[in-house]
Chain A
């Protein structure tokens, strides 16, 4: 059996260390599907071991140190798995808010998309749906996706186009934003384009 070569919980430690590395370097690492699967397999093995140990223990008196140790290892692995996943969802939510809640923009980025597990994409979609439902009650009064680190000082803003983004409907009609041009526009109309990096404030 493979768990004899290594110590219980070693794989789980690797997983948690990956989460820490991700925090330290402030990057999203690729979802480690292989490692997660190996840990889940280790969990099954441990479960079998408990069953076996208790089956052999015919004179069970409520105290069986071996079974207790397997149980502790299972709980440890579970904690590591949960911590890894909660660390990732935290990161994903941060990324979601960093682009002002523009999920299609986030998922269109192939670099990011390649690092996500399928169920993480599902998670983001459902999270997005919940946010949209919450926002819909007061979209006219308040945009909760707006930046709070740099509060706007004017209603209008002078922007420079850093990436083509096509025709956008504004209060003065449709504007076709082309690379290199400058416009004076109403902030509320193009706020999301600044956040997503199409426009730059001058």
Chain B
């Protein structure tokens, strides 16, 4: 995902909500929470979309808690076996876990951001092999996963792909198909 101003994916990724704790009173904006309070009181916790929180956090009007998809529980699960974590279940259908993480990184302090970046890239790198492997063999073998995995594990992994990985999966499948087509075609007799 790019950070381009006009990027549709980037805009949608910033719609993910994180929890903010306000440090100041803000009058007349209680409806941001969807609640019926008239004002935002200091120390109240509100779920806000990311795009709205940058300015609050950088202006020191609010603090935020690291969202659940990047909690230490998820980090431990990724450390244990990153292929068995269902990223799609963490961020909801059609959303990108990596894009979300990239944005949260911007809000974190330097050390925490570096750790988070490491978690994201390691997970991506280790999962990518399986993504491409399955995509290459998906059409050919039907529903059997790569590397001799059982049917269920492979299917569960496919369901757990986040939006970024899904896109790569589709691309790898296309590429495998075109390679096969090119390999089997011949230029002779076509002129």
B55–A72 CB distance below 8 A: yes
Task: Tell me the chain A residues, 27-76 only, with Cβ under 8 Å from chain B.
Answer: 53, 63, 65-66, 68-69, 72-73, 76
B61–A83 CB distance below 8 A: no
Among A16-24, A118-126, A169-177, the one that faces the other chain is: A16-24
User: Given the interface contacts A65-B61, A68-B55, does A83 sit within 8 Å of B28 by beta carbon?
Assistant: no
Distance in angstroms from A24 CB to nearest chain B CB is 9
A16–B12 CB distance below 8 A: yes
Distance in angstroms from B6 CB to nearest chain A CB is 5
A72–B34 CB distance below 8 A: no
| Residue picked from A8, A53, A154, most chain B C-beta under 10 Å | A8
B6–A82 CB distance below 8 A: yes
Select A63's contact among B6, B8, B12, B59, beta carbons within 8 Å. B59
Asked if B15 is at the interface of the complex by the 8 Å CB criterion, the answer is yes
**Interface size, chain A (Cβ < 8 Å):** 27
CB-nearest residue of chain A to B94: A20
User: Given the interface contacts A20-B12, A83-B6, A86-B6, does A65 sit within 8 Å of B56 by beta carbon?
Assistant: yes
Select B52's contact among A19, A73, A80, beta carbons within 8 Å. A73
| Residue picked from B6, B7, B27, B55, most chain A C-beta under 10 Å | B6
Asked if B93 is at the interface of the complex by the 8 Å CB criterion, the answer is no
A23 to B9, CA, bound (A): 11
Task: Tell me the chain A residues, 60-119 only, with Cβ under 8 Å from chain B.
Answer: 63, 65-66, 68-69, 72-73, 76, 79-80, 82-83, 86-87
Question: Which residues from A are CB-within-8-Å of B26?
Answer: 65-66, 69
Residues of B within 8 A of A (CB): 5-9, 11-12, 15, 24, 26-29, 31-32, 34, 49, 51-52, 54-56, 59, 61, 191
Please list 14 pairs of residues, one from A and one from B, whose beta carbons are closer than 8 Å in the complex, sorted by A's number: A7-B34, A7-B49, A8-B32, A8-B52, A13-B15, A65-B24, A65-B59, A66-B29, A79-B5, A80-B11, A82-B6, A83-B6, A87-B6, A87-B8
The 5 closest A-B pairs by CB, nearest first: A86-B6, A83-B6, A65-B26, A65-B61, A4-B31
